[in-house]
Structure 1
Amino acid sequence: MSVRIHVSGPAAVAVDTHLPQLVDDLVASSITASDPALWGPEAEADAAVRLGWVEAVSVSRPLVAEIEALRSELLAKGVDHVVLAGMGGSSLAPEVIAGTAGVSLTVLDSTAPTQVEAAVNDSLSATVLVVSSKSGSTVETDSQRRVYEKAFRDAGIDPAERIVVVTDPGSPLESSAREAGYRVFTADPNVGGRYSALTAFGLVPSGLAGADISELLDEAEAIELYLATDDVDNPGLILGAAIAGTSPLKDKLGIVSDGTHIVGFADWAEQLIAESTGKIGRGLLPVVLDTGAPELKEGLDDLQIVRLVKDADQFHLIPTRGHRHDGEILVSGSLGGLLLTWEYAVAVAGRLLGINPFDQPDVESAKVATRGLLDAQPTPEAAAFVDAGIEVRGTASVVEGVHTVAAAIAALLAGTPADGYVAIQAYVDRLALPQLAELRDAVAAKIDRPVTFGWGPRFLHSTGQYHKGGPATGVFLQITENASSDLGVPDRPFTFGQLIQAQAAGDASVLEQLGRPVLRLNLTDPAAGASVLFDAVG
C-alpha cells in the first residue's frame, strides 16, 4: 500500500471505536459508488453533484497527453514561464504538485497590487497564463486575467497564444474563453474545488510547468482499491476516524511536515479540512505548524498532531528532538496516494461530525460584503487611534480604552477562549513582507493556544469558511498595508489596491457581525510597521 498511517493515544482509541462501524456501514464502498445519502438528508442534494472526485483518476487520464502536447508546443516557442491565476482549490493543489516535483510555477492567488504587478512584469515574453476557475466569476481570478490580457496586448503578444483556461463545461468562462480563442480544458463539474486536485484544475498548471502528472495519477490509482474496500486496513477510514472520532473531540489538527518529500501538503490539506468541516458551529480547524512550533510542546488537550513523515511505520519507533510522538497521527506515502486518501478521510470525517462536507455556506458572505464595498466605495472607517504609523481599528471590546498597538494586541489575545484559537490574517504583498508569517510562532508562544496564519485573500477560500461557520472560539488579528503603488483592473471601476482593502474590510465586517473579536492593523509604512508588530507582540 502506498500510504501508511500510524495512530496512538486518543487517535488510536477513536479508530478502534469507529472503524468497525464504518466498515459495517459500507462507508468506503458507498463513497466510491457516489452514494449521496451517506451524510444525511440535508446534505444529499450537494453530495449528489459533488462526488465526481472518486473517478478523477480514470476521467483525467486522457488529459495527460493533451497537456504534455501543449507544453511541448509552448516550449518550442520559448514559452516556459507558467503563471497560475486561481484561488483555493484551483491554486493549492497545483502548488503542492509543482513544489513536490521541483518545477517552477508562479501561483498568483493575491490581489496585493505590488505582488500582481511584480508577477506581470516577470518574464512576460516567455509567460503562459493559466486562468483556473469553475465559473470564472471569482473576482480575484477575473481581475488577474484582465491585467494579463492588457499586458500581453501592450507587449504586442496575442493573448490567445498565451492564455489557457481551466473551467467547468458550460460555464460563462468557457463561453467567453472560446470566443476569445483561448485554449480551454474542462473538468468534471461534479467535483468541488477543494476536491479537484486530480482533475484538470490540478493537472493542467502543474503539467504545463513540467510535473510528471502521469506518475501522479499512477500513485493515486495504486491506492484506489484500498480506499474503496470496506476493510479495517482502509487508510481513508482509519485517517477519517482518527481526525474526527476522538472523544472529547480534538477539534484542532496541528499538521506538521517532518521529513516528508512532499512540499506544501499542509497548505492544501488546510483548505480541504477547514472548508469541508467548518460549519453549523462545529468542525476541525487545521493549524499548519513547523517542527519547532510552540504548540508541539504545550500538550493542549484539544490539539491533535498529524505529522507528515517519510515512513510512518518506522518514525514512531525513533524519538526525535526528545519527543516520542505518543498520541500523534503519523502519515506517509506518495503524493497522489495521499491526495486521494485525504479526500476520502475528510468525507468520512464529515459523516462522523454530522455535517455536509461538500458545501461552503459561509464563504459567500465575505464575497458579498466585498462586492458591496467595491460598489459603494464608502469613506474608510476612521481609525480608533494611530500608533507608530499603524492605524488601529477593531471591535469595541478590543480597542476601547487602549492607546498603543501593544495594548490592543494584548486585549485581543486576552479574549481568546480557553478552547479557542487566534487567526492572523495578512492582506499584504507576501513576497515583500514574508517575515509576517513568523508572527504565528511569536503569538503562539505568548498565549499557549493554537494560532493559524493566512495570507489574504488566499485564506478566504479555505479557512475563511471555518472562521465563520465553525465554533465561535476564534479571535482575529487582521493586518493590511498602504501599498507603495496601485494597479488598475482593466475595464473595472476599481483598482487592485481598492479590491484587497475591500476584501479585508468585508471579511472583518462579517466576522464582527457574527460576534467574533477582530483587531485591524493597517501599516501605513509596511516595512517599518512589520517591525513594530513584532515588538508589540513581545
Structure 2
Amino acid sequence: MGELLAAPAEAAGGLAVYGALAVDGSAPASTRQALVDSGVPGRLAAKDPTLWGPEAAAGARAGLGWVDTHRRSRELLPQLAELTTELADLDHVVLAGMGGSSLAPEVIARTTGRPLTVLDTTDPGQVRAALGDRLARTVVVLASKSGTTVETDSHRRAYWQAFLDAGLTEAEAGRHFVVVTDPGSPLEAVAAELGAITVLADPEVGGRFSALTAFGLVPCALAGVPVADLLDQAEAFAASLDRVDGNPGLALGAALAAAATAGRDKVALVPDGTGVEGLGDWLEQLLAESTGKGGQGILPVVVESPDSPGLTGTDVLTVSYGGALAAGAVPGAGTAPDVAVNGPLGAQFLAWEYATAVAATVLGVDPFDQPNVTESKEHTAAILAEGPPPAPAPSSVEGAIEVYAPPGAPGDLAGALRHLLGGLDDGGFLAVTAYLDRHADADAARLRPLLAEVTGRSVTFGWGPRYLHSTGQYHKGGPQVGSFLQVTGTVDVDLPVPGKPYSFGELQAAQAAGDRRALAGRERPLLRLHLTERSAGLAQLLDAVGSLRA
C-alpha cells in the first residue's frame, strides 16, 4: 500500500485517483495513450455523440447531457428552496423510485446523514411498513424518468389510498406528493390530476447518469441536504474533463478498460471509511447497465468493508472509494486496492460517469442504452395478464425452505447448493437475488460474504426487484458466465395495489418468475429457494451455506 501512495496520483477538483497509472502500465499497450491519441478526453467533454460508433450516435446525442447537467441544475435551486419552505411541515420524505431514480439520492442522504426513506420494492411487508410510518407528516417523491415504472405507479396508488383512508380530501392528499419526471411523460399528466407539484428533470440525461439532476436533488433537498454543495463539487471537478493530463476521470476509465480487456472484468468496490457511504450501490447500476451488453461488460461487485471476502481474484480489479483521506493516509483502510478514488461526492458522481463512458469506448459498447432491461418486465407483464403458470412441486422441503433444484442437480438443500457452486464457470460469478423485505429480512445480505468465502469467487447480491433496474441488464446482456441463486419468501399478509387486479405480493412473485424465465432462456444455472417462514428460513439457509466451508 505504500507503493500506492508513492506512485503519482492524478488529482483535480478535490478528487484523486491512485494506482490507475500502474494498472494501465501493466497492459501490453497503454489504453490511456490510445484514448488520448483518439482525442477522447476533448471529444467527450464536448459531448461528441460519435465516440461509440454510428449506431449509438442518436442515443448518445440524446443522453450526453450529464457532462454539464450540474450547471443547468443550478436553475432548480430557487425552486427547491421554495419547495422545502412550502412543505416544511412534511418532514418525513419518502422516495418512490427505482434504479437511477433512487440509488443516487440514497447515497447522498447516507453520506450527509440526512433521513430519507427509499421505497424501491414491491414486497408487501416493506411497503406496508412505509405506509404506516408518520403518514400525516409524509411527502412522497414519485420519481420516474419514463413515467411508466410499475413499482412507482403501485406506490403512488397505495399512498393515495392511504391518505384518503386517513381522512384527507383529494386536494389535501395531492399536497403530499412531489413528482419528478421527464417533460411530457405520462407521470406529468398524472401529477396534474393529483394536484401534485411537478419538478421536470433534464431530458438529455439518462436515469443512471442523473445523480446531479432533479432526480438526485429534489428528494435530498426536501430531506435537508445542502444540494448546492454537490453542484459546486462537480463544477470544480468538471474543469479537468477535457485535459490530457491531470484528468482523474480519464485515468480511472483507462484503468477500468485496461483491466477488463486483460481479463479482470470484475470490479470489487469497497468503501475506505472516509466519508462516502453506499456509493457502491449507485456504481453497481452505472457500471453494469452501461457496459453489460453484447456479451461484453464490467461486473461491479459491491463489497461491504475492507475486511470482507470477495475483494480479490485473478479476474478482479479492486477499487476503494472514499471522501476525505487525511494527508498521508493509506487508501483502502487496510486492504490493498489496485485503484483508490477519494474525493467529495459531487466530484465522485461526475468522475465515475466520465470513467464509465470512457471505458465503454474501449469495450465497444453503447453506454446509454439498456437493451435487455425490458425482458424481465415483459415476462412480468405477461404473467400478471395470463396468471401465474402452474406451480412446480419443490424438489425437496427442508424445514422452512422449499428447494427448486434445476434438472440434473441433487434435490436436497446442501446438494443443490454444492451443485450450483461447483458449476461456476472459469471467470464466472454467482449472483444472489433476494425477493424479500430489505429491512425486515436484512440478514439475507449476509449470504454474499459467506458465499464469497466458500467459493473464493466473485459473488454479487441484489434485492429484487431493485436489481432488475441495475445489474439485471448485465445478467442478460453481459458475458454469459453467471450462476444464479434466487431467494423468495412467503407473504403472510398481502397488500392490494389500488385500482389494479393484482396485489403487491402477486406483483413481487411475478417479477421473480419473470426474471427466472428470462434467465432460463439463456440456459444459465439457477437455483430457487423459497422461504415458507422468512426468519426461520433465512437462519436455516445461512447455517446451510456456513456448513459448506467444512
Fold match, TM over 0.5? Answer: yes
Aligned position for 2:264: 250
Q: Give 1:21's match in structure 2, choosing from 10, 16, 34.
A: 34
Q: Superposition RMSD on alpha carbons, in Å?
A: 1.7
Q: After TM superposition, give the deviation of residue 394 of structure 1 in Å.
A: 4.2
For 2:63, what is the secondary structure of its paired residue?
coil
Q: Give 2:318's match in structure 1, choosing from 292, 296, 305.
A: 305
Does the Cα contact within 8 Å between 1:311 and 1:331 map onto a contact in 2? no
Map of 1:496-535 to 2, 5 A cutoff?
Answer: 496-535=504-543
Aligned position for 1:86: 97
Q: After TM superposition, give the deviation of residue 99 of structure 1 in Å.
A: 1.1
Aligned position for 2:173: 159
Q: What is the count of residue pairs matched by the alignment?
A: 527
Does the Cα contact within 8 Å between 1:276 and 1:359 map onto a contact in 2? yes
In structure 2, stretches of 5+ residues that fail to align are: 1-11
Q: Give 1:209's match in structure 2, choosing from 210, 223, 227.
A: 223
Structure 2 CA distance for aligned equivalents of residues 265 and 403 of structure 1: 39
Aligned position for 2:440: 432
Residue 284 of structure 2 corresponds to residue 270 of structure 1: yes
Aligned position for 2:380: 370
**Cα distance change, pair 63–15 in 1 and its aligned pair in 2 (3 A):** farther
> How big is each residue's C-alpha offset from its partner over 1:247-290, in whole Å with a ceiling of 9 and x where there is no partner?
52310000000122011111101110000000111100000112
Aligned position for 2:497: 489
Aligned position for 1:337: 347
Residue 393 of structure 2 corresponds to residue 422 of structure 1: no
**Cα distance change, pair 141–319 in 1 and its aligned pair in 2 (3 A):** closer
**Cα distance change, pair 55–318 in 1 and its aligned pair in 2 (3 A):** closer
Structure 2 CA distance for aligned equivalents of residues 317 and 121 of structure 1: 45
Q: After TM superposition, give the deviation of residue 310 of structure 1 in Å.
A: 4.8
**Cα distance change, pair 242–489 in 1 and its aligned pair in 2 (3 A):** same
Map of 1:121-520 to 2, 5 A cutoff?
Answer: 121-157=132-168, 158-227=172-241, 229-246=242-259, 247-289=261-303, 290-296=305-311, 299-310=312-323, 321=334, 325=336, 328-378=338-388, 379-398=390-409, 402-520=410-528
Q: After TM superposition, give the deviation of residue 350 of structure 1 in Å.
A: 0.4
Does the Cα contact within 8 Å between 1:26 and 1:230 map onto a contact in 2? no
* One-letter amino acid matched to 2:526: V
Aligned position for 2:4: none
Q: After TM superposition, give the deviation of residue 35 of structure 1 in Å.
A: 1.1
Does the Cα contact within 8 Å between 1:14 and 1:241 map onto a contact in 2? no
Percent of residue pairs bearing the same amino acid type: 49
Structure 2 CA distance for aligned equivalents of residues 412 and 63 of structure 1: 50
Does the Cα contact within 8 Å between 1:5 and 1:313 map onto a contact in 2? no
Q: Give 1:71's match in structure 2, choosing from 84, 93, 99.
A: 84
For 1:417, what is the secondary structure of its paired residue?
coil
In structure 1, stretches of 5+ residues that fail to align are: none
**Cα distance change, pair 257–320 in 1 and its aligned pair in 2 (3 A):** closer
Structure 2 CA distance for aligned equivalents of residues 208 and 21 of structure 1: 44
Structure 2 CA distance for aligned equivalents of residues 389 and 73 of structure 1: 49
Q: After TM superposition, give the deviation of residue 311 of structure 1 in Å.
A: 5.6
Does the Cα contact within 8 Å between 2:271 and 2:320 map onto a contact in 1? yes
Residue 18 of structure 2 corresponds to residue 6 of structure 1: yes
For 1:68, what is the secondary structure of its paired residue?
helix
Q: After TM superposition, give the deviation of residue 395 of structure 1 in Å.
A: 2.7
Structure 2 CA distance for aligned equivalents of residues 64 and 28 of structure 1: 30
**Cα distance change, pair 318–272 in 1 and its aligned pair in 2 (3 A):** closer
